[in-house]
Structure 1
Amino acid sequence: MPNLIPKDLVSLLRRPPLPRFRSRLHDERTATLIGTALGVAFATAFLTGLVSHFLQHPPSWLAHHLPTRPYWGYRFTQGLHVASGTAAIPLLLAKLWTVYPRLFAWPPLKSVAHALERLSILVLVAGAVFELVTGLLNSAQWYVWGNQFPFVQTHYWVAWITVGALVVHLGVKAPAIARGFRRPGEELPELPELPEPAGPAELPETHHVSRRAFIATTAVAAGTVTVATVGQSVGSLRSVSVLSARDTGVGELGVPVNRTAGQAGITAAAVTSDWRLQVGGGARGLSLSRQELAALPQTSATLPIACVEGWSVDAHWQGVRISDLMDLAGIAHDADVRVVSMEQNGAYAVMVMERQYVRDPAALLALRLNGRTLTLDHGYPARIIVPNRPGVLQTKWVQRMEAIV
């Protein structure tokens, strides 16, 4: 029987007209050097992200071992988290460019092991892109996903999945990485030979771009976006950080506000002169007006307010030591304290303060900020300020404090 399938079609099915990549910038050494920088950025973002997650949602075995010092600890780790994640964006783009010719390798799947390897790469790339894009949007407080998307939990678990895929990838690519770290003068293996191009699939040569120039350009890009955004947590760089999501020099009383009273459902009528702080769970219950709180011994502390979006700013706070309030209420020194806000619709309207924070001498129920009475947006009539804690746990509009027994 004569062959009814044209020879050209048979040839196409066997070996499609794939492009041929000639640039040495797609070699193992370039991919390894860029990948190493990307790996450092991702590892830094992952580890500092774990710090933030455990400070916000401490497991029971860790809750009472979280340190209150250094007082600027969360400011440093979360600023580093956002900075390393931002730097990873140009590094990821450069890494993908160095390796994308592998997408045109033929056959696309050589074995079951090769299919699993490609699947792990798919998970790794998808997870990395998801983490960087959503993290960038969160740092800018641009919540395009609405209120129904659980960003914190999703960001946390996708980070673990991505790191798992990265570990698998490193294990599979260990020989290639070792070859990539050879001294620069040593000959490196080329990419697998690809079929000769057919017509327009031919790609131009790029031999005029050196590996050193490409890596230097990538480094400059990563450094530029970092410097241009890190001013929101490094005050000395504020003037050159033109892309910072938050100008920390703008805000009532010299401090930015993430969540206003209006967003929290707090009105001026809700904090009239009949507001009283309730302190319970001890030998003596307390019910104190703001005037009575102001009449108690006042303590001052200079502490940063540091938010999960990466911005932070030092501020001068004045108020009553939380430990003094607990002593007045007869609450034991080893008791944790639940803090309840007047806020009605917030994820952090109820916050648990572990005993080490309760008894820290710098932990305040603040009444004043930067020498002035708190404004409604900053938590009037009273708010929490504690060293080395995320801003979401520095509860505003405090209504009740009670010992957890």
Structure 2
Amino acid sequence: MLNTQEISNSAQSIARELGITKYDIYGSSVDETSVEVDNGEPKQVQASNRSSVIVRVWNEQEMVGVTTTTDLDIQGLQLALKTAQEASLLGNKDNPPEFSPEAKEPLPNVSDEVVEPAPVPVLMETLIKAEKTLLEAHPAIMGVPYNGLSQEDIARFYLNSDGALRQETRSYASIYLYSRTEQEGKKPRGASAMKISHGLSDLDIDGCLKEVTEKTISHINYQSIPSGKYRVVFSPTAFLSLISAFSNLFNAQNILDKQSLSTPESLGTEIASPLLCLCDNALHPDNIGAETFDGEGTPTRPVDIIKNGILTGLLHSTGTAKRMNSKPTGHANIGSKVTVGSHFYHVFTSEENAPQYSLDESENVILIDRLQALHAGVNALQGSFSLPFDGWLVNKGELISIDAATVAGDYLELLKSIICVETEAEVTPRGVCPRVWVNELSVTGE
């Protein structure tokens, strides 16, 4: 893996030779192994080592040049620093990036957990066994066309000419299963599930199999529903998909670029039901992919975005924080332009006496499991969405799979129409979230 101190020493030496006084470097290295199977036989084995390094150089006029490289030896660093130095002559004079004022602050105390990777034959055997178990779960399940078991080690680092030096390493393992049914006279149906952990030994493969099996079987006997207004319950995965699709609402860079549903004046205003609280927390204990610093070296931290329906915080880089008289929050991604991105969402309610609803007692309620076509069915600048979904019509605990339907609405109106945030949360790769009930949405059936 990366030797960050060696990279730092080399960068200092090269910068002196080139007359560069101000620079920073962010990079990562990924060692990944993944396998796929098909009907009990190996289908694909992939192994890769990927490195990505971004170098920024400031000139005497404080204009910045940026370049990327995958070569971390002396020659590669020298070429990258020289190229960035030359590019700085063409740098943007408007709001040039700066070092994070927190790039040398202490990092959160999160242990780096690196797990010894399992051999490829073990990965293959494990996935073949999982596929066999899924195929035998029900006669209608005829294939697992999409599947994968992977493990990877990731190392990240940040350093700058002002003496900042950060690094961290992590290990991950994940499994993905997508089943498909075939029955005479019926449309093919499918379902998927994914689990992630630090290593293969603690990967919840049985939980993944249970989830995908139950979903697949529940979709076999489907029926059409009439179009109309329905009370809708979003699964954790579905609700977090919506939050991500409309993340410009709390992204400071989007707000400054006027590509957001919010404005700088939106802070402190009510944008959702008082039942809703939303936090972005890279350090959440359930976040397998925890990151302790961002692309500018700023330590990550929990950021309250929505508290009891009020927009209380935004995600910032160093540049957006300066322009909006705030502080960086550890959400910067550096590149030719510094962007802002989320880490790990946490959705909950802080209302002690919040109303609670039960699917076992409700009638004519739609439970949405997964939203589809988010790339095409969302207008993030207007706040509108129209999305096909997988889900069920629920009547007093009885789930009937919906043949084909689309849910549509306005995102800001949806947030204000939330009538219940359940107390029991589920951990997903994107965040921690319970089921969320929305009073009424338009659903178009067949």
Q: TM-score, normalised by structure 2?
A: 0.19
More strand, by proportion: 2
Higher relative contact order (CA 8 A, sep 6+): 1
Q: TM-score, normalised by structure 1?
A: 0.20
More helix, by proportion: 1
